[in-house]
Amino acid sequence: MFKEYQPTNEAESDVHGKISRTDMLAPWTYRSEELTALELEALFLRDWLLAGHASEIPNSGDYTTFNIGGERAVLIRDEEGRIGAFHNVCRHRGSRVVGADRGHCRRTMVCPFHGWTYHLDGRLKQIPSPGTFAQLEIASNGLIPIELEVWHGFLFIRFRSGGQSLAARLAAVEEKVAHYRLSELLPLGSRRVVELPYNWKLIHDVDNEGYHVPSAHPSLHSLYGRDYRDSLMGDVPISTARVDKNVSSFWSVDHYKKLLPSFDHLPPSEQRVWFYFAVFPNLVFVLYPEMVEFYMTVPVSAGKSLMIGQCFGLRDDRRETRAARYLNQRINEQTAREDENLVLWLQESFATSVYPRDNLSTLEFGVAYFHRQLKMKLPVLGLEMAPQAGHLAARTQKMLNGA
Ligand code: FES
Ligand SMILES: [Fe+2]
């Protein structure tokens, strides 16, 4: 059975003691296109977004891209080996400067439209027919930089710069993640991008609690159901699950338990732990013993989201490690399939006249905590009814000004 949720510090007991109807977002917040546009601006573009890992662009001229809410970013390694992040918008007339999602530029980035040429560090180098421009300063027409923070090798960008650093935000999990040598990770396969017919918040609502695991995910439950716990580390939501050694009737789970080797980089306490932590608003990291995975949502519209995920691992050629990584993915794919209908049925419930919000278990505090964070950042999310069409932005401004 699940362990009872035990708050271990003040922040946790605060969450524990006050779960209530008022925490839960009203159904309109999952269905409003106007709100989704506002969320993109206020929650996503103003916060740290994961755009990749340094190991994906190991050589000078390698680049990767990340697009969201109309914005386009290119992250590229320059001749000195430094990584820079820029708007992938040519300073001439706005074309993409790099066209592929990922690739390599030799020495310079050349815009495919009219051939403006940029150094790998974003400076404009030269343009065709410079004499045909009345006034154009090469020096002030480099690609426009985007704020970049490299956190243990992971590349985070913030389109609207300013505010807390990511390292400060994640300070509470720093000690925990140190064992995993994240900056040395290498990609295991390419990025998965799937479009799902759900609101982005709903995907997290289902993901943010373990209360449904015994009922909805029997194989996951048989993997770690006896020792699973959701809590907070500082104010970072975490889940810790310990893989037991009991026989399982599920093939993948049973073999995973038996084959999982031990890992020199982990202390004894972490050898069989799956550790999840969330980075508001849209990202979850999972530190497994044998690899590291992230998954995140990107809103496309009120009822559509991208789910983006990728696995990384330290160099380890052992057969057991390869097997464990494969079995892990089989278990997680099964879990994702089991969630599909549940998310769909919740999404449908927003259109009914009796959507329930009163009965939340303490085991679901992660849902309430996520909603509370959302409302703190974007107070309009606390409204019971949708503001009149066209009034959302004005209402948001008023609420932020305390009116
Ligand atoms: S838009 Fe890039 S060179 Fe013209
Ligand atoms: Fe689930």
* Residue 200 domain-assigned (yes or no): yes
The residue written with tokens 């916060």 in the block is: 47
Statement to judge: residues 181 and 241 lie in one domain: yes
Statement to judge: residues 132 and 281 lie in one domain: no
Residues with Cβ within 8 Å of 116's Cβ and at least 6 positions away in sequence, in order, are: 90, 91, 92, 97, 110, 124, 126, 127, 128
The rounded Å distance from CA 77 to ligand 1 centre is 22
* Residue 188 domain-assigned (yes or no): yes
Is the shortest distance between the CB of 95 and ligand 1 below 6 Å?
yes
* Residue 270 domain-assigned (yes or no): yes
Is the shortest distance between the CB of 331 and ligand 1 below 6 Å?
no
Statement to judge: residues 99 and 227 lie in one domain: no
Is the shortest distance between the CB of 128 and ligand 1 below 6 Å?
no
* Residue 389 domain-assigned (yes or no): no
Question: In the structure, what pLDDT confidence band is assigned to residue 8 with cuts at 50, 70 and 90?
Answer: very low
pLDDT tens for 178-190 read: 999 999 999 999 9
Q: How many domains does the chain have?
A: 2
The rounded Å distance from CA 208 to ligand 2 centre is 9
276 alpha carbon, closest ligand:
2
Amino acid 393: pLDDT: 77
Statement to judge: residues 39 and 67 lie in one domain: no
Statement to judge: residues 22 and 69 lie in one domain: no
102-106: average pLDDT: 97
111-116: average pLDDT: 98
Statement to judge: residues 33 and 61 lie in one domain: no
* Residue 4 domain-assigned (yes or no): no
Question: In the structure, what pLDDT confidence band is assigned to residue 396 with cuts at 50, 70 and 90?
Answer: confident
Nearest CA to ligand 1 atom 3: 114
Helices within 152-217 (DSSP H only)? 166-169, 174-178, 200-207, 213-216
**Could you give the C-alpha distances from 309 to 153, 260, 294, 301, in angstroms and in order?**
16, 22, 5, 19
The more confident residue out of 396 and 95 is 95
Amino acid 390: pLDDT: 80
219 alpha carbon, closest ligand:
2
Give phi and psi for 288, each to the nearest 5.
-95, 165
346 alpha carbon, closest ligand:
2
- pLDDT at residue 7 tops 60: no
Q: Which domain holds residue 207?
A: 10-46+174-380
273-301: average pLDDT: 98
Question: In the structure, what pLDDT confidence band is assigned to residue 1 with cuts at 50, 70 and 90?
Answer: very low
Q: Tell me which of 118, 151, 184 is where a domain ends.
A: 151
- pLDDT at residue 75 tops 90: yes
What is the domain-level CATH number for residue 362? 3.90.380.10
Amino acid 357: pLDDT: 86
369-376: average pLDDT: 94
Question: In the structure, what pLDDT confidence band is assigned to residue 4 with cuts at 50, 70 and 90?
Answer: very low
Is the shortest distance between the CB of 118 and ligand 1 below 6 Å?
no
Statement to judge: residues 68 and 188 lie in one domain: no
Is the shortest distance between the CB of 113 and ligand 1 below 6 Å?
yes
Q: Do the Cβ atoms of 387 and 397 come closer than 8 Å?
A: no
Amino acid 2: pLDDT: 35
| pTM listed for this prediction | 0.93
249-272: average pLDDT: 97
pLDDT tens for 144-173 read: 999 999 999 999 999 999 999 999 999 999
Statement to judge: residues 85 and 216 lie in one domain: no
Give phi and psi for 168, each to the nearest 5.
-65, -40
* Residue 128 domain-assigned (yes or no): yes
Question: In the structure, what pLDDT confidence band is assigned to residue 387 with cuts at 50, 70 and 90?
Answer: confident
43-70: average pLDDT: 97
126 alpha carbon, closest ligand:
1
Q: Tell me which of 151, 166, 188 is where a domain ends.
A: 151
The rounded Å distance from CA 72 to ligand 1 centre is 15
* Residue 165 domain-assigned (yes or no): no
- The amino acid present at 397, given as its one-letter code, is Q
What is the domain-level CATH number for residue 91? 2.102.10.10
Nearest CA to ligand 1 atom 4: 114
Statement to judge: residues 296 and 322 lie in one domain: yes
Question: In the structure, what pLDDT confidence band is assigned to residue 346 with cuts at 50, 70 and 90?
Answer: very high
* Residue 157 domain-assigned (yes or no): no
Statement to judge: residues 120 and 209 lie in one domain: no
- State which of 89, 114, 136 you would mutate to test the pocket of ligand 1, scoring each by most atoms of that ligand within 8 A of its C-beta: 114
Statement to judge: residues 143 and 280 lie in one domain: no
The strand pair at 117-119 and 186-196 is best described as: unpaired
Nearest CA to ligand 1 atom 1: 93
- pLDDT at residue 80 tops 50: yes
Amino acid 21: pLDDT: 56
- State which of 113, 126, 127 you would mutate to test the pocket of ligand 1, scoring each by most atoms of that ligand within 8 A of its C-beta: 113
DSSP string, 247-267: --SSHHHHHHHHH----TTS-
Statement to judge: residues 141 and 235 lie in one domain: no
The rounded Å distance from CA 138 to ligand 1 centre is 14
Q: Tell me which of 120, 151, 182 is where a domain ends.
A: 151
